[in-house]
Chain A
Amino acid sequence: RKEVEQDPGPFNVPEGATVAFNCTYSNSASQSFFWYRQDCRKEPKLLMSVYSSGNEDGRFTAQLNRASQYISLLIRDSKLSDSATYLCVAPGGGSQGNLIFGKGTKLSVKP
Protein backbone atom coordinates (compact mmCIF):
# COMPACT_ATOMS: atom_id res chain seq x y z
CA ARG A 1 0.00 0.00 0.00
CA LYS A 2 1.38 3.39 -0.98
CA GLU A 3 1.97 5.79 1.89
CA VAL A 4 -0.49 8.42 0.71
CA GLU A 5 -3.03 7.70 -2.00
CA GLN A 6 -5.45 10.12 -3.55
CA ASP A 7 -8.27 10.10 -6.06
CA PRO A 8 -6.54 10.30 -9.44
CA GLY A 9 -8.85 12.92 -10.88
CA PRO A 10 -9.08 15.15 -12.80
CA PHE A 11 -12.27 16.65 -11.49
CA ASN A 12 -14.04 18.97 -13.90
CA VAL A 13 -16.90 20.80 -12.21
CA PRO A 14 -19.04 23.88 -12.89
CA GLU A 15 -18.85 26.97 -10.75
CA GLY A 16 -20.90 26.61 -7.61
CA ALA A 17 -20.55 22.84 -7.43
CA THR A 18 -19.53 20.92 -4.36
CA VAL A 19 -16.57 18.60 -4.82
CA ALA A 20 -14.93 16.12 -2.48
CA PHE A 21 -11.43 14.66 -2.58
CA ASN A 22 -10.43 11.53 -0.75
CA CYS A 23 -7.10 10.37 0.58
CA THR A 24 -5.86 7.31 2.46
CA TYR A 25 -2.66 6.94 4.41
CA SER A 26 -0.72 3.89 5.50
CA ASN A 27 1.02 4.98 8.70
CA SER A 28 -1.49 4.50 11.49
CA ALA A 29 0.76 6.37 13.92
CA SER A 30 0.48 9.63 11.98
CA GLN A 31 -1.09 12.38 14.01
CA SER A 32 -1.44 15.43 11.82
CA PHE A 33 -2.23 15.84 8.19
CA PHE A 34 -2.42 18.62 5.68
CA TRP A 35 -4.09 19.60 2.47
CA TYR A 36 -1.90 21.68 0.18
CA ARG A 37 -2.83 23.44 -2.99
CA GLN A 38 -0.40 23.59 -5.89
CA ASP A 39 -0.90 25.79 -8.91
CA CYS A 40 0.81 24.91 -12.16
CA ARG A 41 4.58 25.42 -11.97
CA LYS A 42 4.32 26.87 -8.48
CA GLU A 43 5.25 25.71 -5.01
CA PRO A 44 2.62 24.02 -2.82
CA LYS A 45 0.82 26.23 -0.36
CA LEU A 46 -0.98 25.14 2.75
CA LEU A 47 -4.72 25.05 2.41
CA MET A 48 -5.72 23.38 5.66
CA SER A 49 -4.23 21.44 8.52
CA VAL A 50 -6.20 18.45 9.81
CA TYR A 51 -5.39 17.68 13.42
CA SER A 52 -8.32 15.88 14.97
CA SER A 53 -11.68 14.74 13.71
CA GLY A 54 -11.78 17.53 11.17
CA ASN A 55 -12.08 21.25 10.71
CA GLU A 56 -13.78 23.85 8.58
CA ASP A 57 -12.50 27.05 7.02
CA GLY A 58 -15.07 28.93 5.00
CA ARG A 59 -15.99 26.86 1.97
CA PHE A 60 -13.46 24.18 2.82
CA THR A 61 -14.00 21.29 5.21
CA ALA A 62 -11.41 18.66 6.02
CA GLN A 63 -12.26 15.45 7.81
CA LEU A 64 -10.13 12.73 9.32
CA ASN A 65 -11.18 9.17 10.07
CA ARG A 66 -8.39 7.50 12.01
CA ALA A 67 -10.07 4.11 12.12
CA SER A 68 -10.19 3.96 8.33
CA GLN A 69 -6.98 5.99 7.85
CA TYR A 70 -8.90 8.27 5.57
CA ILE A 71 -8.89 12.02 5.00
CA SER A 72 -11.23 14.07 2.90
CA LEU A 73 -11.47 17.62 1.62
CA LEU A 74 -14.82 19.13 0.72
CA ILE A 75 -15.06 22.32 -1.31
CA ARG A 76 -18.46 24.00 -1.43
CA ASP A 77 -19.59 26.63 -3.91
CA SER A 78 -16.56 26.11 -6.16
CA LYS A 79 -14.95 29.19 -7.66
CA LEU A 80 -12.91 29.46 -10.84
CA SER A 81 -9.96 30.35 -8.64
CA ASP A 82 -10.19 26.98 -6.91
CA SER A 83 -8.78 25.35 -10.04
CA ALA A 84 -5.50 23.77 -8.95
CA THR A 85 -3.99 20.48 -7.85
CA TYR A 86 -4.79 19.47 -4.29
CA LEU A 87 -2.19 17.49 -2.41
CA CYS A 88 -2.91 15.26 0.55
CA VAL A 89 0.07 15.27 2.91
CA ALA A 90 1.00 13.07 5.84
CA PRO A 91 4.01 13.07 8.12
CA GLY A 92 6.90 10.89 7.06
CA GLY A 93 8.14 8.14 9.32
CA GLY A 94 11.38 9.90 10.17
CA SER A 95 12.07 11.95 13.27
CA GLN A 96 13.11 15.04 11.36
CA GLY A 97 9.72 16.13 10.20
CA ASN A 98 9.64 15.28 6.51
CA LEU A 99 6.28 15.05 4.79
CA ILE A 100 4.89 12.52 2.36
CA PHE A 101 2.86 13.88 -0.51
CA GLY A 102 0.11 12.21 -2.43
CA LYS A 103 0.20 12.50 -6.21
CA GLY A 104 -2.44 15.17 -6.09
CA THR A 105 -5.89 15.57 -7.55
CA LYS A 106 -6.40 18.12 -10.27
CA LEU A 107 -9.50 20.27 -10.06
CA SER A 108 -10.81 22.37 -12.93
CA VAL A 109 -13.72 24.65 -12.19
CA LYS A 110 -15.50 25.82 -15.34
CA PRO A 111 -17.78 28.83 -15.83
Chain B
Amino acid sequence: GAVVSQHPSWVICKSGTSVKIECRSLDFQATTMFWYRQFPKQSLMLMATSNEGSKATYEQGVEKDKFLINHASLTLSTLTVTSAHPEDSSFYICSARAPPMNTEAFFGQGTRLTVV
Protein backbone atom coordinates (compact mmCIF):
# COMPACT_ATOMS: atom_id res chain seq x y z
CA GLY B 1 0.00 0.00 0.00
CA ALA B 2 0.89 3.65 -0.19
CA VAL B 3 3.51 4.85 2.23
CA VAL B 4 3.93 8.19 3.91
CA SER B 5 7.14 8.86 5.77
CA GLN B 6 7.52 11.53 8.42
CA HIS B 7 10.72 12.76 10.00
CA PRO B 8 11.81 13.21 12.72
CA SER B 9 9.82 10.85 14.90
CA TRP B 10 10.61 12.84 18.00
CA VAL B 11 12.34 16.08 18.81
CA ILE B 12 13.12 18.08 21.91
CA CYS B 13 13.84 21.75 21.44
CA LYS B 14 14.34 24.84 23.52
CA SER B 15 11.63 27.42 23.84
CA GLY B 16 11.95 30.08 21.16
CA THR B 17 13.59 27.88 18.56
CA SER B 18 12.06 26.53 15.35
CA VAL B 19 11.49 22.94 14.37
CA LYS B 20 10.93 21.56 10.89
CA ILE B 21 8.98 18.38 10.28
CA GLU B 22 9.06 16.63 6.91
CA CYS B 23 6.35 14.51 5.35
CA ARG B 24 7.03 12.50 2.21
CA SER B 25 4.81 10.34 0.07
CA LEU B 26 7.11 7.54 -1.02
CA ASP B 27 5.26 5.79 -3.80
CA PHE B 28 2.59 8.18 -4.99
CA GLN B 29 2.22 11.84 -5.78
CA ALA B 30 0.28 13.83 -3.26
CA THR B 31 -1.00 17.18 -4.43
CA THR B 32 -2.63 17.56 -1.05
CA MET B 33 -1.33 16.62 2.37
CA PHE B 34 -2.90 17.18 5.75
CA TRP B 35 -1.27 18.17 9.00
CA TYR B 36 -2.87 17.13 12.26
CA ARG B 37 -2.04 17.72 15.90
CA GLN B 38 -2.98 15.44 18.76
CA PHE B 39 -2.74 16.36 22.42
CA PRO B 40 -2.80 13.59 25.05
CA LYS B 41 -6.15 11.81 25.25
CA GLN B 42 -7.53 14.06 22.53
CA SER B 43 -8.58 13.47 18.96
CA LEU B 44 -6.49 14.28 15.93
CA MET B 45 -7.29 17.86 15.01
CA LEU B 46 -6.71 19.12 11.50
CA MET B 47 -4.34 22.06 11.52
CA ALA B 48 -3.96 22.78 7.85
CA THR B 49 -4.24 21.43 4.35
CA SER B 50 -1.05 21.62 2.36
CA ASN B 51 -1.37 22.16 -1.38
CA GLU B 52 1.46 21.58 -3.82
CA GLY B 53 2.51 24.79 -5.47
CA SER B 54 0.12 27.04 -3.56
CA LYS B 55 -0.59 28.37 -0.11
CA ALA B 56 -1.77 26.09 2.64
CA THR B 57 -5.28 26.35 3.99
CA TYR B 58 -5.33 26.74 7.75
CA GLU B 59 -8.10 25.74 10.10
CA GLN B 60 -9.67 28.32 12.33
CA GLY B 61 -7.52 29.12 15.31
CA VAL B 62 -4.26 27.88 13.79
CA GLU B 63 -1.70 30.65 13.35
CA LYS B 64 -0.31 30.52 9.85
CA ASP B 65 2.70 32.64 10.80
CA LYS B 66 3.61 30.23 13.56
CA PHE B 67 3.03 27.00 11.69
CA LEU B 68 4.68 27.47 8.32
CA ILE B 69 3.77 24.94 5.68
CA ASN B 70 5.65 24.43 2.45
CA HIS B 71 4.61 21.95 -0.23
CA ALA B 72 7.24 22.48 -2.87
CA SER B 73 6.95 19.16 -4.64
CA LEU B 74 4.39 16.43 -5.21
CA THR B 75 6.07 14.20 -2.64
CA LEU B 76 7.16 16.55 0.13
CA SER B 77 5.39 18.82 2.56
CA THR B 78 7.09 20.47 5.52
CA LEU B 79 5.68 21.95 8.70
CA THR B 80 7.86 24.40 10.60
CA VAL B 81 6.90 25.31 14.13
CA THR B 82 8.42 28.74 14.64
CA SER B 83 9.32 30.23 18.00
CA ALA B 84 8.15 27.10 19.73
CA HIS B 85 6.71 27.31 23.23
CA PRO B 86 5.96 24.54 25.74
CA GLU B 87 2.26 24.67 24.83
CA ASP B 88 3.24 23.62 21.30
CA SER B 89 4.41 20.29 22.68
CA SER B 90 2.23 17.72 20.97
CA PHE B 91 2.09 14.84 18.51
CA TYR B 92 2.15 16.18 14.97
CA ILE B 93 1.16 13.88 12.18
CA CYS B 94 0.76 14.23 8.44
CA SER B 95 -1.37 12.29 6.06
CA ALA B 96 -2.15 12.00 2.40
CA ARG B 97 -4.78 10.19 0.42
CA ALA B 98 -3.58 8.32 -2.60
CA PRO B 99 -5.74 8.67 -5.70
CA PRO B 100 -8.67 8.19 -6.04
CA MET B 101 -9.75 10.58 -3.33
CA ASN B 102 -12.19 8.34 -1.56
CA THR B 103 -9.54 5.88 -0.47
CA GLU B 104 -8.12 5.61 2.99
CA ALA B 105 -5.71 8.16 4.34
CA PHE B 106 -2.13 7.10 4.90
CA PHE B 107 -0.31 8.58 7.84
CA GLY B 108 3.24 9.39 8.57
CA GLN B 109 4.72 7.94 11.72
CA GLY B 110 4.10 11.17 13.59
CA THR B 111 6.48 13.53 15.34
CA ARG B 112 6.42 13.95 19.07
CA LEU B 113 7.55 17.47 19.82
CA THR B 114 8.61 18.48 23.30
CA VAL B 115 9.47 22.11 23.90
CA VAL B 116 11.41 22.77 27.08
**Bound-state Cα–Cα, A27 to B95, Å:** 22
Residues of chain B lying within 8 A (CB to CB) of residue A92: 46
Q: Are B49 and A32 in contact (CB under 8 A)?
A: no
- Using known A-B contacts A41-B112, A44-B44, A103-B43, determine if residue A97 contacts B101 with beta carbons closer than 8 Å: yes
A45 at the B interface (CB under 8 A): yes
**Bound-state Cα–Cα, A45 to B102, Å:** 16
Which A57-84 residues have a C-beta within 8 angstroms of B? Answer: none
A28 at the B interface (CB under 8 A): no
B interface residues, how many (CB within 8 angstroms):
25
Interface residues on A, range: 20 to 34
Residues of chain B lying within 8 A (CB to CB) of residue A103: 42-43
Q: Interface stretch among B13-21, B60-68, B74-82, B103-111? A: B103-111
**Bound-state Cα–Cα, A63 to B97, Å:** 23
Which A72-111 residues have a C-beta within 8 angstroms of B? Answer: 87, 89, 91-92, 94, 96-104
In the A-B complex, the 10 residue pairs with the smallest Cβ-Cβ separation, listed nearest first, are A43-B107, A103-B43, A46-B104, A101-B44, A97-B101, A43-B110, A101-B43, A97-B97, A96-B32, A32-B102
Chain B residues with a Cβ under 8 A of chain A = 6, 32, 34, 36, 42-46, 49, 51, 57, 91, 93, 95, 97, 101-102, 104-105, 107-110, 112
